[in-house]
Amino acid sequence: MTLEADTIGIYIHVPFCLRKCPYCDFYSCVNRLQEQDAYVQAVCRNIEYYSKEMSIPKNVDTIYFGGGTPSLLLPENISKIIECIYNFFNVEDSQKHEIEITMEVNPATVNYESLLGYRKAGVNRVSIGLQDLQNDALLTLGRLHTAEQGIDTVYESIRAGFENISCDIMIGTKGQTQKRLMQTLEELAVLPINHISAYMLKIEEGTPYAMQNMQNLVPDDDETAELYLQMVSYLNENGFFQYEISNFAKKGFESRHNCRYWKLKPYLGIGPSAHSFIDKRFYVPSELDLFIAGEHQKIFIEDECPDLLTERIMLGLRLTEGIPLSWLSDLQKETAEYFAKAGLMKINKDRVCFTPNGFLVSNTILCEIL
Ligand code: SF4
């Protein structure tokens, strides 16, 4: 079977965590893992509902388990969800890598056996939440794993048969200096992985970090900018090419699912707090009880008629490949040229993109352009 052009990605939000990390504002619940079977049944009901009742593309080429902590689900439950998608949608064979099935993995929750179980269930890409490779930094971040456990998870994933491995790290965290970041990057770059996501710590309102005034204890904007630029140049020089503001990959290992978001291709989100884009944007309320009890998930329309060109420009400029210059009006082109002269954008023949310095102030520049 060959996938038609009209494909969809499916995102499954797994809303369970062992403990809340003090900086995190993603929706997840602690101490409710005993409800995982009911949650999985609700996910499967929704998969069937969307496939039968909704007019959406039926050819799936990416599946992404995010959270929360998907690796708290038993392998048989991940298997049930994947099987259900295979039953109700048209899916390529994961063993041939024609579909990308990613699962976020928390090193504190897996071992070789569970990783092997996820691999056998059909998952073919793991995204490991390392966050840092220094134990004092991991403690400050409230993580439940050590640097050694993080590295073990990479090697155990390889042993379990994963060839497509991504690791997440954070920059701008308390106590991080250029020297300490370099130590982490040097260790990371020699691991047998092919993708790195590097997120700048953001102090989100309502989180314990915000209440502890962590904003005053982390590197300031200038220091974080230096850390970011140092990281971009180190990773680019060491085989991990930047393809998005926060994402780096060896050639051919860019996240296909996440590229859907930036290229505004359709995706269906299932689970409490999941977002979707299928012509319009809609989301599911952040309530596990409601999700489990409902015949199918309740949705709220976020944007009935998105301004697709503006969204394409904003999202496309997150990618280092940028966007066609033809998407901009004459006035917008003039503004882009102004920022190109300042070294913040690049215009190459018929495309325009941000430079690494430009990514740091991309929101401000986008406000000027749009
Ligand atoms: S494990 Fe991930 S989703 Fe859960 S609280 Fe920590 S950062 Fe948030």
How remote is the CA of residue 174 from the centroid of ligand 1, in Å? 18
How remote is the CA of residue 279 from the centroid of ligand 1, in Å? 30
How remote is the CA of residue 257 from the centroid of ligand 1, in Å? 20
Look at residues 56, 60, 52, 57 and name the one whose alpha carbon lies nearest to residue 92: 60
Q: How do the domains of the chain map onto residue ranges?
A: 7-262, 308-370
Q: Would the CB of 28 count as within 6 Å of ligand 1?
A: yes
- Tokens 């050639």 map to which residue? 251
Q: Would the CB of 165 count as within 6 Å of ligand 1?
A: no
pLDDT of residue 4: 42
The residue among 2 and 321 whose pLDDT is bigger is 321
- Token readout for 66 is 């995010």
How remote is the CA of residue 96 from the centroid of ligand 1, in Å? 31
Architecture in CATH for domain 7-262: Alpha-Beta Barrel (3.20)
Strand bridging mode 323-324 / 300-303: unpaired
How remote is the CA of residue 142 from the centroid of ligand 1, in Å? 10
CA distance 3 to 221: 45
Which of 27, 69, 140, 197 gets mutated to test ligand 1 (max ligand atoms within 8 A of its CB)? 69
Which pLDDT band holds residue 94 (cuts at 50, 70, 90)?
low
pLDDT of residue 349: 85
| pLDDT tens track for 5-52 | 589 999 999 999 999 999 999 999 999 999 999 999 999 999 999 999
> Stretch 238-242: mean pLDDT, rounded?
98
| pLDDT tens track for 274-325 | 999 999 999 999 999 999 999 999 999 988 888 999 999 999 999 999 999 9
CA distance 230 to 87: 47
CB 292 within 8 A of CB 36: no
Transcribe 125-187 into DSSP letters: EEEEEEE-S-HHHHHHTT-SS-HHHHHHHHHHHHHTT---EEEEEEES-TT--HHHHHHHHHH
Atom 6, ligand 1: residue with shortest CA distance: 21
Whole-prediction pTM value?
0.95
CB 248 within 8 A of CB 198: yes
CA distance 322 to 245: 11
> Stretch 202-228: mean pLDDT, rounded?
94
pLDDT of residue 117: 98
